[in-house]
Amino acid sequence: MGYAMTTSSLDGIMEQLECADALDGLQTASEALRNHYQIDHLVYHWVSSSGQQYGCGTYCPDWVARYLDAGYLRIDPVIVGCYQRFHPVDWKRLDWSSKAARAFQKDALEHGVGNQGYSIPIRGPNGQFALFTINHSCHDEAWAEFTESNRRQLILLAHAFNQKALELEPERSPMAAQALSPREVDAMTLLAVGYSRAQVADTLSISENTLRVYIESARHKLGALNTTHAVAKAISRGVIVV
């Protein structure tokens, strides 16, 4: 791995990423960075709310297809682990103990994924979640040294990748998220912490009928099918925080 990299080259890649078109830029930058760092793979993986995913990077198409088909999103310890974390994490520190996880790991190795990995969770507005991952095949010590010495740069890269990727979903812009009124937020928030309608109405000192209007209008604004769905959407969009 290229410990003696020139920062000028890295800056060049970052600047190019910031200016380029989103779809092109992300893929190009992934490959440029893989070469720059001399590692096996570099991946940006957007895990969207509705189960949709967007990914770009240097994994071979076979593996990507297999990942999607087999529903690995649900059992990949990297996803599961990073979803609960803020700081970048080495794959070794994740929980690979379950049978499904080990099977996944084996499959990944057979598809050219390196034995070492380092993933940075990134979060955007409205509950957006993404992972910026590098991985490689090498010994633990070399990997630890590599990740530690490049940690800050990788965080910035993750940030830059996500910023670029957000351009791909214009509906996630401030405009798209239909804002809830204060009362609607109150209602959703209290429902989300387990209050019944009667309790919420009581807490807010309004009639239950009034409360129902809020819930209904919040539901419509959120495009939800029922109260539970509305609360779920409100949470994953970050409209309310529980």
Partner DNA sequence: CCCCGCCTCACCATTTCTGATGAGGTGCAA
Partner DNA sequence: TTGCACCTCATCAGAAATGGTGAGGCGGGG
Say which amino acid occupies 218.
Answer: A
Q: Is 207 in the site for DNA (CB under 7 A)?
A: yes
Helix (H, G, I), strand (E, B) or coil at 177: coil
Convert residues 83-122 into a mask of x (bound to DNA by CB under 7 A) and - (unbound): --------------xxxx----------------------
Q: Which residue has the tokens 């803020």?
A: 86
Contact 107, 77 (CB under 8 A): no
Q: Residue 73 — φ and ψ, nearest 5°?
A: -50, -35
Which of 62, 96, 65 shows the shortest CA–CA distance to 79? 96
Q: How far is the CB of 193 from DNA (least distance, A)?
A: 13
189 touches, from DNA, a copy of itself, none (C-beta below 5 to 8 Å by class)? a copy of itself
Say which amino acid occupies 110.
Answer: E
Q: Which of 189, 201, 218, 221 binds a copy of itself (CB under 8 A)?
A: 189
Q: Is 192 in the site for DNA (CB under 7 A)?
A: no
206 touches, from a copy of itself, DNA, none (C-beta below 5 to 8 Å by class)? DNA
The count of C-alpha atoms lying within 13 angstroms of the C-alpha of 164, restricted to the half-sphere facing its C-beta, is 29
Q: Which residue has the tokens 């410990």?
A: 3
Say which amino acid occupies 233.
Answer: K
Part in contact with a copy of itself (CB under 8 A); list of ranges 1-9, 32-40, 49-57, 206-214: 49-57
The footprint of DNA on residues 164-183 (CB under 7 A) is: 179, 181-183
Q: Is 173 in the site for a copy of itself (CB under 8 A)?
A: yes
Non-local CB neighbours of 59 within 8 Å, separated by 6+ positions: 41, 43, 111, 112, 113
The distance from CA 109 to its chain's CA centroid, rounded to whole angstroms, is 23
Q: Is 170 in the site for a copy of itself (CB under 8 A)?
A: no
Q: Is 16 in the site for DNA (CB under 7 A)?
A: no
| Element housing 41 (H / E) | strand 41-47
Q: Which is nearer to DNA, 87 or 93 (CB)?
A: 93
Q: Is 210 in the site for a copy of itself (CB under 8 A)?
A: no
Q: What is the dihedral of CA 108, 111, 115, 118, to 10 degrees?
A: -70
The footprint of DNA on residues 41-80 (CB under 7 A) is: none
| Residues of the shown chain interacting with DNA in the complex, contacts defined by CB under 7 A | 97-100, 179, 181-184, 196-198, 204, 206-207, 209-210, 212-217, 219, 225-228
Interface residues with a copy of itself (CB under 8 A)?
A: 47-51, 73-74, 79-81, 83-87, 121, 123-129, 152, 155-156, 159, 162-163, 166, 173-174, 177, 182, 185, 189, 191-196, 224-229, 231-233, 235-238, 240-242
